[in-house]
Amino acid sequence: MISHPESINGFFAYRGESNTSPNVGSVLLAAGVCLSLIAQIAEQIDYLRFMPPRTPENSRRWWTWMVLAGPGWVLFGAIKQVIGLFLAVYIIANVTDGAAIANQPVHQFLEIYSDIMPSWLALTLAVVLVVISQVKINVTNAYSGSLAWTNSYTRITRHYPGRLVFLGVNLAIALVLMEANMFDFLNTILGFYANCGIAWVVVVASDIAINKYLLKISPKEPEFRRGMLYPINPVGFGSMLIAAGVSILVFFGGLGEGLKPYSPLVAIVLALVLPPVLAVATKGRWYLRRTHDGIDLPMYDEHGNPSGEELTCHVCDQAYERPDMAACETHDAHVCSLDLSTDRTGEHVLPAHP
């Protein structure tokens, strides 16, 4: 921007390859691609688990970094997207056949660096930055993806194969997408995925903001242990399926070409409205199977942090923190959430409250 100040005006004046006024449908399709990254907010939770306990002394700093590293991630994501769009428009306007390479980060870096340093150094830095960013992306996806795959697979099959298996699954998916030259149809992939990601995140947000705090139907404290929850809660699971399903149908033109660009908005509206509607309709009956886990020790400390007190699981003889444990139905002992999930007979699972 310093050596080419005119690029700023060119960016704001850019009217697309067809040189026409902005089209609402095209803007919404682009928004859908951008919103596909909304699911990374959930990945940030995996990193937030390593934050220190909140105390009166660090409360302000704790909340600041929790907000910035959690939902505030979208601010940094938006800045990166705007910078990438600026570089793409610059390349299209100033490089021969720029439209063919404008969406490829290595060419963006290479063209910019070539203006301020020797070509060999520009190429080196461009490659290094792309490699670093890809390593970061794939490490994050492998870490968070293996958690999600393992949790779902274990809950469904009652078998724990270990996260290493699903680390391989994630890498295999990444390899297939790379070999399939996903850049050729990246917008379609992200547009399709955005409908699922938006539905999921907005349903969670709606349940927390409306059902938990406004309607006070959803339990205040989060719960994940088998025995404490029903296998399926129609409020969350049903809302997500409907919102994602309808928006995907719209995305592929099932409800008309005119409505197709609005699929992200369809996902947002349905995911926002359905959770409170279903929560009221079901009276919150499917949130909790039990309200007490059979252990009299407190779940949280005096500052509201999950208790760090460790208990020993009588099944695997491993020590786990209090929030990960529940009382065993058939033994006067404690059992961890993993062994509850893999209990095929259900002998360790506490019965439901009437």
Out of 78-92, 141-155, 225-239, 244-258, the most confident range is 225-239
Burial class (CB in 10 A: 0-12, 13-18, 19+), 49: exposed
**DSSP letter string, 184-209:** GGHHHHHHHHHHHHHHHHHHHHHIII
Q: Do residues 343 and 225 make contact, with C-beta atoms less than 8 angstroms apart?
A: no
Q: Do residues 339 and 313 make contact, with C-beta atoms less than 8 angstroms apart?
A: yes
Are both 275 and 311 inside the same structural domain? Answer: no
Which of 38, 12, 15 has the alpha carbon at shortest distance from 26?
Answer: 15
Q: Give yes or no for residue 17 having a pLDDT over 70.
A: no
Kindly report, residue by residue over 28-66, the tens digit of the pLDDT.
767 766 776 777 777 777 778 888 889 999 999 999 998
2 pLDDT band, cuts 50/70/90, is low
Q: Per the domain annotation, does 253 fall within a domain?
A: yes
Are both 257 and 296 inside the same structural domain? Answer: no
Out of 92-101, 103-112, 155-164, 255-264, the most confident range is 155-164
Q: Per the domain annotation, does 46 fall within a domain?
A: yes
Burial class (CB in 10 A: 0-12, 13-18, 19+), 88: buried
Q: Per the domain annotation, does 163 fall within a domain?
A: no
Which of 266, 252, 271, 262 has the alpha carbon at shortest distance from 192?
Answer: 252
Q: Per the domain annotation, does 180 fall within a domain?
A: no
Provide the domain limits for residue 313: 290-354
d(CA 319, CA 312): 4
Mean pLDDT lowest among 68-77, 323-332, 333-342: 68-77
Are both 276 and 300 inside the same structural domain? Answer: no
Are both 275 and 312 inside the same structural domain? Answer: no
Please list, residue by residue across 126-144, b when 16 or more beta carbons sit within 10 angstroms of its beta carbon and e when fewer do.
beebbeeeeeeeeeebbeb
d(CA 227, CA 340): 8
Q: Per the domain annotation, does 129 fall within a domain?
A: no
Are both 232 and 305 inside the same structural domain? Answer: no
Q: Per the domain annotation, does 144 fall within a domain?
A: no
Are both 284 and 301 inside the same structural domain? Answer: no
Q: What is the DSSP letter of 210?
A: I
Are both 229 and 269 inside the same structural domain? Answer: yes
Q: What pLDDT does 196 receive? A: 85
Kindly report, residue by residue over 135-159, the tens digit of the pLDDT.
777 777 777 788 888 888 898 899 9
Percent of the chain residues topping a pLDDT of 90: 33
Q: Per the domain annotation, does 124 fall within a domain?
A: no
d(CA 94, CA 345): 67
More confident residue, 121 or 63: 63
d(CA 62, CA 75): 18
Global pTM exceeds 0.75: yes
Q: Give yes or no for residue 318 having a pLDDT over 90.
A: yes
Helix 24-35 / helix 186-206 crossing angle, nearest 10 deg? 70
Q: Do residues 282 and 274 make contact, with C-beta atoms less than 8 angstroms apart?
A: no
307 C-beta neighbours (distance < 10 Å), count: 14
Which of 183, 235, 227, 176 has the alpha carbon at shortest distance from 204?
Answer: 235
Are both 281 and 298 inside the same structural domain? Answer: no
Domain count, the chain: 3
Q: What pLDDT does 297 receive? A: 92
Q: Per the domain annotation, does 23 fall within a domain?
A: yes
Are both 12 and 81 inside the same structural domain? Answer: yes
d(CA 299, CA 293): 10
334-336 and 325-327 as β-strands: parallel, antiparallel, unpaired?
A: antiparallel
Those residues whose C-beta lies under 8 Å from the C-beta of residue 304, and which sit 6 or more positions away, are 54
**DSSP letter string, 46-112:** HHHTTSPPP-TTTHHHHHHHHHHHTTTHHHHHHHHHHHHHHHHHHHHHHSTTHHHHTT-HHHHHHHH
Are both 204 and 256 inside the same structural domain? Answer: yes
Are both 306 and 263 inside the same structural domain? Answer: no
d(CA 315, CA 335): 6
Kindly report, residue by residue over 242-265, the tens digit of the pLDDT.
999 999 999 888 888 878 888 888
Are both 207 and 244 inside the same structural domain? Answer: yes
